Amino acid sequence: MTTATTSELLPAVHWGGTEITRLIIGGNQIRGFSHVSVELDEEMRDYHTVDNTVASWFRAEACGLNTMQSRGDAVVFERLQAYRERGGTMQWICQTAGEHPDPFENIREIADHDPIAIYHHGSVSDRLWQAGAFDQVEDRLKAMRDTGAMVGIAAHMPEVLQYVEDQGWDVDFYMTCFYNIAKNARRELVAEGAQNVEPFDDEDRDVICEFIQQTDKPCIAYKILGASRKCSSPESVREAFKFALARIKPIDIVNVGMFQKHSDQVAMNAEIVREIG
């Protein structure tokens, strides 16, 4: 399989001696977290066999990306091992698995698979914040620091990240969601099944971009396409990328999930970032 050479890489930033392309490929699709519907969740899970997942990652390499992101669980570990055994070279940024019964054991498991960075699961950050138990996250971040990887934290609620910033917690980067999907209940029963009713309000983007601009730490902007809600046409995709890249800092990057089943989203997104990133 073809991989990108350094001269073919997309525009990149430097974090702590590590070069990361301004576009990285996300991992929600692998585990079927579409943020759209139960049906699309299932379609994504069915598609992302080991071979199809590895093929998507190699396509990302060929299009000039040098970093991927996904969660740290057994399914991803299996696919990551296969990718590396077949010659894959992209760097890996890992999100903790929120369902793991022991977050510290999960961090150790992730560290065994050589990520360049580990970050705290955004939905778990939101829930702990809402429960008044968020300060326990600091010990988890310290455990990440002990692995030698870069340390980050995700949240969908900007006030969570602002708290971490104000408290001066030891993190290297923030995962900054363009939409505060924690504002409402995450799912409601409607019609004949559970459909996603997360709020995707465009005004949320201005709030998080204000935070991104005021912090000196690098940020990874995610859900910049609104979990496909900004994908009605190639022009709308381009506009969403343009909006994000104009409002994040030069040291920041975007993380975009890409579903290769129906179209070559990797190539299209890479071309946009190569032109305007």
Higher pLDDT, 98 or 162: 162
187 has a pLDDT exceeding 80 = no
Q: Is residue 248 classed exposed, middle or buried when 0-12, 13-18 and 19+ CB atoms within 10 A define those classes? A: buried
CATH number of the structural domain 6-276: 3.20.20.70
Give the separation between CA 226 and CA 213, rounded to whole angstroms.
20
User: What integer pLDDT is reported at residue 191 of this predicted model?
Assistant: 40
Q: Where are the beta strands (DSSP E) in the chain?
A: 12-15, 18-21, 23-25, 67-71, 91-95, 117-120, 150-155, 173-177, 187-190, 193-196, 219-222, 253-256
Percent of the chain with pLDDT over 70: 91
Query: Residue 247 — pLDDT band, cuts 50, 70, 90?
Result: very high
Is residue 266 pLDDT above 80, yes or no? yes
Mean pLDDT of 132-143: 98
Look at the chain and count its residues. Answer: 277
Of the pLDDT bands very low, low, confident and very high (cuts 50, 70, 90), residue 239 is very high
Given this model, what pLDDT does residue 186 score? 43
In this prediction, residues 1-28 reach a mean pLDDT of: 81
Across 115-129, average pLDDT: 97
According to the model, what pLDDT value does residue 184 have? 67
pLDDT of residue 115: 98
Percent of the chain with pLDDT over 90: 78
pLDDT for 196 equals: 52
Q: State the CB neighbour count (10 A cutoff) for residue 128.
A: 19
HEC states along 222-266?
ECCCCCCCCCCCHHHHHHHHHHHHHHCCCCCEEEECCCCCCCCHH
pLDDT band, very low/low/confident/very high, at 190 (cuts 50, 70, 90): very low
pLDDT above 60: residue 1: no
User: How would residue 183 be classed by pLDDT, with cut points 50, 70 and 90?
Assistant: confident
What per-residue confidence (pLDDT) applies to 131? 96
- Of 12-16, 130-134, 189-193, least confident by mean pLDDT is 189-193
**In the predicted structure, residue 192 carries a pLDDT above the cut 90:** no
pLDDT at 251: 97
pLDDT averaged over every residue in the chain = 91
pLDDT tens for each residue of 152-172 = 999 999 999 999 999 999 999
What interhelical angle do 234-247 and 203-214 show, nearest 10?
Answer: 30
Q: Residue 199: pLDDT band by 50, 70, 90 thresholds?
A: confident
**Domain extent listing, the chain:** 6-276
pLDDT at residue 24 greater than cutoff 70:
yes
**72 pLDDT higher than 60:** yes
